[in-house]
Amino acid sequence: MLSIKNLHVSINGKKILNGINLEIKTGEVHAIMGPNGSGKSTLASVLAGKEIFNVTEGKINYFGEDLFELNPEERAKKGIFLGFQYPVEIPGVSMINFMKVAVNEQRKYKGLKPLSAADFLKLMRERKELVELNSALTNRSVNEGFSGGEKKRNEIFQMAMLEPKLAILDETDSGLDIDALKIVANGVNKLKTKDNASIVITHYQRLLDFIVPDFVHVLYNGKIVKSAGKELALELEEKGYEWIKKELGE
């Protein structure tokens, strides 16, 4: 579904990604790990279409389409979902209204009628249960006054509502205690099907105890320097990122 070829990205003239290659098929879960500043979040942002980054070289193909031809909202409607590392607050805009617009935009794109108020509320109830989201949160403004953990859970809730084909979770585990982590991971696992895929970006192996990846990639200095199965995460946990640096002869 997603094929990244020789992706080079810079911001303000500074190179951040230096030739990423990655193939993702439906039904797969890929974990991307790496030390701070290695380019993990940049990769997520570029996939979602954030404008401030400059793609200097390379191609991304998504279900046969050139991803760079699509603006962020088109990508979203075609099933790309980004779980933000730092979800923003939108004061005065209720979570219900926000989700209703988002869900119906997507339905419109697929040629479906907008959901009736009753159907929408039913859908919301179901999905809230799935991610064990406190029902009061959806009555509040988007992310306003949410704790760090609530914001992350809210991201997973939105993912459950939108049922993406490709979910990119950018450090969704950061700032979560172990219980919240389990809830988030549980949500992700329940939403997994043979027709969708996820990219789980994380700094620690902890999350991968709960979301078991098919592949683990190590990102370092803007390049994927090592790819393997889930055992790579454990090895990294044990030996630390210094080990990678040594292997690379630095």
Q: Candidates 67-75, 116-124, 194-202, 211-219 — which segment interacts with another protein by CB under 8 A?
A: 67-75
The answer to whether 28 and 2 have CB atoms below 8 angstroms apart is: no
Give yes or no for residue 42 binding another protein (CB under 8 A): no
Q: Which residues contact 29 (CB under 8 A, 6 or more apart)?
A: 192, 197, 198, 200, 211, 212, 213, 214, 215
CB of 244 to another protein, least distance (A): 31
Q: How far is the CB of 168 from another protein (least distance, A)?
A: 10
| Shorter beta-carbon distance to another protein: residue 51 or 177 | 51
141 in contact with another protein (CB under 8 A) = yes
Give the residue, chosen from 90, 112, 178, 212, that forms a contact with another protein under the rule CB under 8 A.
Answer: 90
Contact between 54 and another protein per CB under 8 A: no
- The residue among 102 and 137 lying less far from another protein, judged by its C-beta, is 102
- Work out the number of other CB atoms within 10 angstroms of the CB of residue 78: 18
118 binds another protein (CB under 8 A): no
- Told to check if 109 binds another protein by CB under 8 A, we report yes
Q: Which of 12, 14, 64, 88 touches another protein (CB under 8 A)?
A: 88
Tell me if 120 contacts another protein by CB under 8 A: no
Of residues 162 and 199, the one with the C-beta less far from another protein? 162
Structure tokens at 83: 């779980």
Options 38, 41, 85, 106; binder of another protein; rule CB under 8 A: 106
> Alpha helices of the chain — where are they, by DSSP H?
40-48, 72-77, 95-109, 117-130, 148-162, 178-191, 231-239, 241-247
Q: Are 132 and 45 in contact (CB under 8 A)?
A: no
Rg (CA), the chain: 18
**Which residues are registered as beta bridge partners of 24?**
2
Residue 165 corresponds to which tokens in the numbers above?
A: 């084909």
Residue 228 and residue 137: Cα distance in Å, rounded?
39
Interface stretch with another protein, choices 65-73, 197-205, 211-219, 226-234 (CB under 8 A): 65-73
The residue count of the chain comes to 250
Q: Which residues bind another protein (CB under 8 A)?
A: 48-52, 71-73, 75-77, 81-82, 84, 87-88, 90-93, 97-98, 101-102, 105-106, 109, 141, 158, 162
